[in-house]
Structure 1
Amino acid sequence: MPVSLERLIAEVEPAVVTDELIRDCIVTNLTWLDLSFNKIQAIEGLSTLTRLQDLSLFSNAITTIEGLDNLPNLNVLSLGSNQLPRLECVSCLVAFSRLQLLNLAGNPLAKEPDYRGYVLSHLQQLRYLDYRRVLSADRATAMEQHQDEMLELREREDAAAAEKAAAAEKAAHAATMAEANLTGIDTLLDDMAAADPEWPKLSTVPGLLEPWSDVRDKWQVATDEFKLVILDAHSRKKAEQAAFKAALSEALAERDAEAKALLLGYEKGKKALLRSMAARSADPEEQVLGAKVKLMALHEALLGLEVDAVEVVAGLVTEFDRCYSEMAEANKLQYNAYFTQVRDLQNNFFAALVASSPSYLERYGSAADNFELEALPEEVAALLGDKDALGNALQTSHEAHISVLDGLEDRLVGREIATANSLAESNNTWQEQRHRERMGELLSYLERNMQDLEALAADAADAAAEAGEAQ
């Protein structure tokens, strides 16, 4: 993407190592840290020390082991002489596969009769515990003593890992669907039923909603096909965006390279001018005038590069916006076709319910000896005993389903077009801002260097005047 003129100028000068840079490098690359004897009550503020290998928190007031999740390289950990109360505190260290030395001596948990066996069975990666070497026999004994507990722990860990993986997969799928503008498609039929105030009553009538299973089967087929089409279009949109950004970067990088070469040439000439004027090897006025001519020539050349860049960027933006808008319009047609399919399924389902309603009215009737009717909830029985009430319930149900369908279609189509329009607007805003900033940089560079040359000329004139007076 575009590089500012100031950065191009900076790149022709030696890099500067700042105090802030040094501090950042020290902190992010820290491998050893001793925080002993500090009255620390909670482990905090270590999340950026991802390369930390050796950490000492000896003799503090820590009551729980936490705040270490971002330290995967931890090899040595000293938590001796703290206030860790229970053996269960060490369970969170199981994930630290590189941890070889652990010190917990001086904590309340270390006074437990089974302290060493418990820790060694749970942290099998340890080679030293409380600065005592862990022998293979000690580890084997600990594992045997805690075999049932470790099996149960492993089962819980496996279950938790499976649950976490399932949640991550579900979240990733939801994110993909949202990114592709498919939110609500997977749950459409469930959402239709959930928004239907009559659905709970109608679903208690034996056999009445059997056609819904056929609707669900056909909807699933249509939905799978629709998702494939939209996801493929989404992939093509992402590829188009990537190609657009790459083309922009390449075009601007070429012109930035030319600008950098021009700037480097001028800066070298400026340094040569300073040396020449210091040596008074030529007429200062002529030298400054020549430098001004070169500065104006540089300015014109940089302006030419910017004009060229504006034309190239505008062409790339226009072409990208056209392609992206065409894909959005094509997607709009796909949305319309899909929702028409689902709407037809709903209409057919409603027609089937209306057609079957007389048989249900006749079957259940209102006779006192109708045991099937008596087995139903009172409000459902009343519904089946009233033709108008049943018809109204079916109509209300149908309208609720159609409302959900229409609402989702409007949201997805609206979002598809709005995204394309927003992207086009942001591209135009960006290219206008880029041009304004570059023109401001060019003008600032010209004014600053012109002032420098004027100052040089004034200094030379003062020096000449002083020399004349001295004679």
Structure 2
Amino acid sequence: MSRLYGSIEPSVVDEDMLQKAVEEQGPKEEAGRIAKAEGIDFKDVLQLRLDFRNILKIDNLWQFVNLTMLQLDNNIIEKIEGLEMLVNLVWLDLSFNNIEAIEGLDSLVKLEDLSLYNNRIPQIENMDALEKLQVLSLGNNILTSLENKEIAAVKYQDDIDDLKRSENLILTKLKEESEKNKELEYHKAAFVEYLNSSFLFESMYAEDVESEKLSLIPGVAGLLETYKSKCTAVCQNIFEYGLNHHEKREAEEQIFSECLQEAINENQELGVQKIKDNENKAIELYSEIQHISDTEIIAVKIEQIGTEISHLKETLMTLEIQLVDQLEEIIKDFERNTSDMASTFIETVQGYMAQIRDFENHHNEKLLEIAISTLEKIGKGIFDEDIPDDVRMLFIDKDTIVNAVAASHDIHLLKIDNLEDDLITKINSLG
């Protein structure tokens, strides 16, 4: 359980040991040479390894005030001490030592991970100050008291439960994100990403400075909600049609691939059979030649073999030409089908986008009516609604409010046009 002194002289943590450890674990090559020449300030060190150094006593660490990780495992330390100034320590490894008591940790209020594995600790004590401690390793000690074990279990069970809950939440979140990303990639492959939402409507108003002011005019909020609902519904139709088109496209590609492979396989099988037939005839002729002594007859047989080989070449060339013609026909059918599907997709998109433009034009007309009516009420002094000053500034005259509505309308139409162009460009890439 404990480590023995052995033949190596026990050591104390001193300036020479610390300087050497910092240099070994610090920057390398040119950066290391510069750091060594200029000197490394112990206050800048965040992590320090002092393992396997036969350390008997912890000392001289007071300068490492910003240290967050300290590794002191596999030494012969008997007492936890000299850590008072390490108030920023988060991770501390004191495993495989000869420690007999938990002490000297009161100032380590930020400590989250503490390993005291494989020591001589008989009981759990002096840990009330470690409120942030999440991981505690006390295995292979001499905790013979069942009471101590139960106290430890009760004391840290809440932390363990919290860690398990956090881990489950993280795993669930990662799984959800993975599924969302997978779904988004499929939507992108179908060219309809984000169209199953109010994405288009939100994008129209994201860069529309005037729309925020116009929306505060009494009566406009309800108009906007109606427009948003209609616009989103049409985008949902495009989304569903796009997914359906993508499924048909994939099915068409699968059929195309199967037809290609089937044609190639059939052609190869015929070719192999022709070659085998030719080989069998050649073997028969060679067998006959071996039993013939008449040179004239042998010459005839050899000529016959040559004729068979020529016929085989012609047959294989014919099969190759037939395969090329067949593949060309399969490819033409596939291109024709996919082109027809793409054309139908484009026509459908254009039809839906025309609906959205109609909604935009209708919305613009209604908005202008409300704006002009508001202007007239303000002019007659019968408008008593409370609106912000920057909105009221739009009603200086008719031109100002008309221009504001027109500017908003132009931005919306541009967004609609851009989405349509983008969709058509992507669909055309399939052809």
- Give the TM-score band, short-chain normalised: 0.5 to 0.7
Distance 1:173 1:336 in 2: 25
Instruction: In structure 2, list runs of 5 or more residues that go unmatched.
Output: 1-24, 26-46, 53-68, 72-91, 97-113, 119-123, 125-133, 141-147
Aligned residue in 1 for 2:414:
403
| 2:419 alignment partner AA | L
Aligned length: 303
Are 1:328 and 2:342 matched, yes or no?
Answer: yes
Aligned residue in 1 for 2:220:
208
Give CA-to-partner distance per residue, 1:399-425, whole Å, 9 cap, x none. Answer: 1000111121122123213312xxxxx
The answer to whether the Cα contact below 8 Å between 2:217 and 2:371 also exists between their aligned partners in 1 is: no
Are 1:313 and 2:303 matched, yes or no?
Answer: no
The answer to whether the Cα contact below 8 Å between 1:364 and 1:385 also exists between their aligned partners in 2 is: no
TM-score, structure 1 normalization: 0.54
Give CA-to-partner distance per residue, 1:244-288, whole Å, 9 cap, x none. Answer: 111111111111122233345566788999999999999798476
The answer to whether the Cα contact below 8 Å between 2:192 and 2:238 also exists between their aligned partners in 1 is: no
Of 173, 180, 188, 1:163 maps to 173
Of 381, 392, 402, 1:381 maps to 392
Aligned residue in 2 for 1:417:
428
Of 244, 247, 250, 1:238 maps to 250
Distance 1:266 1:316 in 2: 31
Aligned residue in 1 for 2:261:
249
The answer to whether the Cα contact below 8 Å between 1:209 and 1:353 also exists between their aligned partners in 2 is: no
Residues 403 and 245 of structure 1: is their aligned pair in 2 closer, same or farther, counting only changes over 3 Å? same
Distance 2:346 2:152 in 1: 65
| 2:171 alignment partner AA | A
Aligned residue in 1 for 2:22:
none
Give CA-to-partner distance per residue, 1:335-358, whole Å, 9 cap, x none. Answer: 111111111111111111100013
SS of the residue aligned with 1:419? coil
Distance 1:415 1:407 in 2: 12
Distance 1:240 1:329 in 2: 15
The answer to whether the Cα contact below 8 Å between 2:267 and 2:323 also exists between their aligned partners in 1 is: yes
Distance 2:95 2:283 in 1: 71
Residues 300 and 145 of structure 1: is their aligned pair in 2 closer, same or farther, counting only changes over 3 Å? farther
Aligned residue in 2 for 1:346:
360
| 1:175 alignment partner AA | E
| 1:254 alignment partner AA | E
Give CA-to-partner distance per residue, 1:130-171, whole Å, 9 cap, x none. Answer: 9xxxxxxx9999865532222222222233233223322332
**Shift of residue 108, structure 1, vs aligned partner:** 4.4
Aligned residue in 2 for 1:182:
192
The answer to whether the Cα contact below 8 Å between 1:259 and 1:305 also exists between their aligned partners in 2 is: yes
Residues 173 and 206 of structure 1: is their aligned pair in 2 closer, same or farther, counting only changes over 3 Å? farther
The answer to whether the Cα contact below 8 Å between 2:346 and 2:427 also exists between their aligned partners in 1 is: yes
Distance 1:265 1:349 in 2: 78
| 1:306 alignment partner AA | E
| 1:406 alignment partner AA | D
Are 1:195 and 2:196 matched, yes or no?
Answer: no
Of 330, 349, 370, 1:356 maps to 370
Instruction: In structure 1, list runs of 5 or more residues that go unmatched.
Output: 1-40, 42-62, 64-79, 88-106, 124-128, 131-137, 421-471
**Shift of residue 329, structure 1, vs aligned partner:** 1.4
| 1:240 alignment partner AA | E
Distance 1:241 1:231 in 2: 15
Report which of the two structures shows the higher radius of gyration computed on alpha carbons.
2
The answer to whether the Cα contact below 8 Å between 2:234 and 2:352 also exists between their aligned partners in 1 is: yes
TM-score, structure 2 normalization: 0.58
Aligned residue in 2 for 1:37:
none
The answer to whether the Cα contact below 8 Å between 1:339 and 1:409 also exists between their aligned partners in 2 is: yes
Task: Give runs of aligned pairs for residues 266-285 of structure 1, distance below 5 A.
Answer: none
Aligned residue in 2 for 1:262:
274
SS of the residue aligned with 1:210? helix
The answer to whether the Cα contact below 8 Å between 2:353 and 2:420 also exists between their aligned partners in 1 is: yes
Residues 343 and 296 of structure 1: is their aligned pair in 2 closer, same or farther, counting only changes over 3 Å? same
Aligned residue in 1 for 2:99:
none
Are 1:173 and 2:215 matched, yes or no?
Answer: no
C-alpha RMSD over aligned residues? 4.4
Distance 2:174 2:182 in 1: 12
SS of the residue aligned with 1:372? coil
Residues 412 and 279 of structure 1: is their aligned pair in 2 closer, same or farther, counting only changes over 3 Å? farther
| 1:342 alignment partner AA | I
Distance 1:143 1:301 in 2: 84
| 1:394 alignment partner AA | V
**Shift of residue 182, structure 1, vs aligned partner:** 1.8
Q: Give identity over the alignment, percent.
A: 24
**Shift of residue 181, structure 1, vs aligned partner:** 2.1
**Shift of residue 240, structure 1, vs aligned partner:** 1.3
Aligned residue in 2 for 1:14:
none
Give CA-to-partner distance per residue, 1:38-66, whole Å, 9 cap, x none. Answer: xxx9xxxxxxxxxxxxxxxxxxxxx9xxx
Distance 1:371 1:225 in 2: 39
| 1:323 alignment partner AA | N
The answer to whether the Cα contact below 8 Å between 2:368 and 2:402 also exists between their aligned partners in 1 is: yes
Could you tell which deviates more after superposition, 348-357 or 266-275? 266-275
SS of the residue aligned with 2:220? coil
The answer to whether the Cα contact below 8 Å between 1:270 and 1:291 also exists between their aligned partners in 2 is: yes
**Shift of residue 397, structure 1, vs aligned partner:** 0.3
